[in-house]
Amino acid sequence: MSDAPIEVAATRDRELVRSLISGDRWITAHALCDLDDGEFPRTRCYVARRGGEAIALGMEYSGWAPQPLHLYGEPAGVAAILTHGIKPRAAWVPTPLGGDPVLDLQYETEKLHPMLRMGLDRTTFTPYAGEAAPLVVPLVPADAPALNRLYQLGFAAWLPPLAVAEGLYRGIHRNGRLVAAAGTHVIGRRERIAVVGNVLTASGFRGAGYARATTSAVTEALLAFCDEVVLNVRSDNPAAVKVYESLGYSVKAEFEERLVIRRTNITLPRFLRRIFGGV
């Protein structure tokens, strides 16, 4: 059967996609979240089959490049998907440490971040109850401008009010100014799993427990309807790792987050690659 040709086709079969990503939920959390009714229509999915058996999946989030691209399954199937299915000019791709030889055949790495995937559930969560805890408040869509100022996001990366409405955000204000916040990248209510992100405290307000307090509040709210909560953190940021460990998060995997640009026969200067890659 291994000599049978590999066929690649687009799919909107959500149960098929789920069957290919339901193994290690800590690792596939982002993709599982994208199975939600509000997220799945925003994805493009391709499946590689050998002899009728699904052996690999490519799942790309729609929007201006670069967007997240998730690849799962047999290397030969992934290679076929990148050749005949999903072919973004730029994408953010999580890879094993040292990279992915299949991906490297068609893409070059523009940026690389060493990352940890951390996660917890209700049995391991330790809520923060320090002095900053009473300062935390829910954030609503009207807080989007304040969040953008805190995150210092430009027009291309602007966080819209809809993202706050669809997500779950908590923040701390001092003297009328939002100085700390934590939120979500995506919530999978269908699969009861969520991804925490956008954790930031403004300079001048750090060291007071604000990151711990806001992250704890977001995590606690998510665990009211999710079985697992995960987050990504740079492995070279021990202070952040310590904060998350204090809440009960533990390392589930090490990986590399890569911004990749599709290889072409034309070598573009770096500044042009940035323009066409959308970075």
For the stretch 119-165, pLDDT in tens is 999 999 999 999 999 999 999 999 999 999 999 865 446 789 999 99
What is the rounded (10 degree) CA torsion for 265, 269, 271, 277? 10
Q: Going along 82-214, which residue ranges are E strands? A: 90-95, 107-120, 136-139, 169-174, 177-188, 193-201
The mean per-residue pLDDT over the stretch 218-234 comes to 98
177 Cβ neighbours under 8 A, 6+ residues apart: 146
Q: Domains in the chain, ordered, with CATH?
A: 6-115+256-277 (3.40.630.30), 125-248 (3.40.630.30)
The predicted structure's pLDDT at residue 167? 96
**212: nearest Cα among 120, 129, 123:** 129
pLDDT tens across 231-273, in order?
Answer: 999 999 999 999 999 999 999 999 999 999 999 865 545 544 4
State the pLDDT at residue 1.
54
What is the rounded distance in angstroms from the CA atom of residue 59 to the CA atom of residue 43? 7
Question: What pLDDT does residue 264 have?
Answer: 82
* Mean pLDDT, range 24-35, rounded to an integer: 96
Q: Which amino acid is at 179?
A: V
The residue-averaged pLDDT of 219-226 equals: 98
Q: What is the pTM of this model?
A: 0.89
